[in-house]
Structure 1
Amino acid sequence: MTTHHQHLVYGYAQSHGCLAFADADTAAAEAAEIRALATAHTWGEARQVQMTQLWNPAGPDYHDPEDGYADDKPFDITKVGAVEGGTWPRMVTERAFTVLPQDLQDNHGKRQLTVHDGDYLEIPLDCEAELVAELRGRGYEVIRDDDLINLLDGFSLGSLAG
């Protein structure tokens, strides 16, 4: 019983107080895009951030320079509408629905509903050892990286700006 996602990264998602899992093959590239946007100093820099894994919520399709977002204006990722609204980046805890086998989701997690952001899978921290062992037993390569998981979740984005 295998899936397309044989390499997983996981960690404790602080915003949700539970474990979260992501595809390790794309996680580093996504994190680099999030970090690049969060560290932009001006709206012009933010618009220029190239995104291949994610969409750019500061891009010209969302924030027109003529609407007060001129290229030379200071950029603060925490003031971007999609970030303020919690839709960017998407919740890392929802990824378990696509990267974990259904039986492991059922055995270790609980579907939680949110009003605005959709569902996520709540996997208690005390399930870690058993779940990771089951994944490894099925041939998954699983590594823990709390910092990466929380960056993917957009946790403390404002602290990245320098």
Structure 2
Amino acid sequence: MTTARSATQRLIYGHAQLHDCLAFADANTAAEEAAEITALAAARTWGEARQVQMTHLWNPAGPDSYEPEDGYADDKPFTLNEVSSVVEGDWPPMVTERGLELLPVDLQAQFGKRKFTAHNGDYLEIPLDHETELVAELRRRGYKVTRDDELINVLDGRSFSPMA
């Protein structure tokens, strides 16, 4: 039996709307990551955006990326969909790419297909109709697996994306 490259044994999964397939995330950190995404999306000014603390992700509006003296004053209105790394699809990272690290390699090959995107790298496409079989096999191998479509899509940026 092939093991996952990550020690994660608790997974959240769901229907990732952007790629219309199943996606998986580490249940130990998924809710905290989603809270970081939601907090940044809720910022109303660049000052608020710069202050959002990130533990699991990086802040694409942080002081390392945008300086007040470059036209991003603290009181200037902030819209997450105008941040270059968000516009380019680099933030948040595609939730569908996580399966490449979280799932055992043999199950990736059996239930999914590695797909390439020109701008954002590879992701694992797992058709929705493989859900029952894949989840049963993960559970048989000792994984605790919980479905949460909303959380998966927040992790994918669907809560603020104009494409949502």
Give the whole-Å Cα distance in 2 for the aligned partners of 1:48 and 1:67.
17
Give the whole-Å Cα distance in 2 for the aligned partners of 1:150 and 1:107.
24
Contact 1:43/1:58 (CA < 8 Å) preserved in 2? yes
Alignment of 1:10-159 (within 5 A): 10-158=13-161
Q: CA deviation at 1:76?
A: 0.4
Contact 1:34/1:152 (CA < 8 Å) preserved in 2? yes
Q: CA deviation at 1:156?
A: 3.6
Residues 26-82 of structure 1, C-alpha deviation per residue, up to 9 Å, x if partnerless? 101100100000001100000000001000000011111111110001110000111
Contact 1:13/1:93 (CA < 8 Å) preserved in 2? yes
Q: CA deviation at 1:123?
A: 0.1
Give the whole-Å Cα distance in 1 for the aligned partners of 2:119 and 2:41.
23
Paired residues in the alignment total 159
Q: Percent identity?
A: 69
Give the whole-Å Cα distance in 2 for the aligned partners of 1:140 and 1:112.
25
Give the whole-Å Cα distance in 1 for the aligned partners of 2:65 and 2:9.
35
Amino acid at match of 1:48: Q
Instruction: Say which SS state the counterpart of residue 63 (structure 2) adopts.
Output: coil
| Structure 2 gap ranges (5+) | none
Give the whole-Å Cα distance in 2 for the aligned partners of 1:114 and 1:158.
18
Normalization by structure 1: what TM-score? Answer: 0.95
Instruction: Say which SS state the counterpart of residue 89 (structure 2) adopts.
Output: coil
* Higher helix residue share: 1
Give the direction of change, closer, same or farther, for the CA distance of 1:58–1:19 in structure 2 (3 Å limit): same
In the TM superposition, structure 1's runs of 4+ consecutive aligned residues that sit over 6 Å from their partners are none
Amino acid at match of 1:98: E
Instruction: Say which SS state the counterpart of residue 157 (structure 1) adopts.
Output: coil
Contact 1:41/1:76 (CA < 8 Å) preserved in 2? yes
| Structure 1 gap ranges (5+) | none
Amino acid at match of 1:11: G
Instruction: Say which SS state the counterpart of residue 29 (structure 2) adopts.
Output: helix
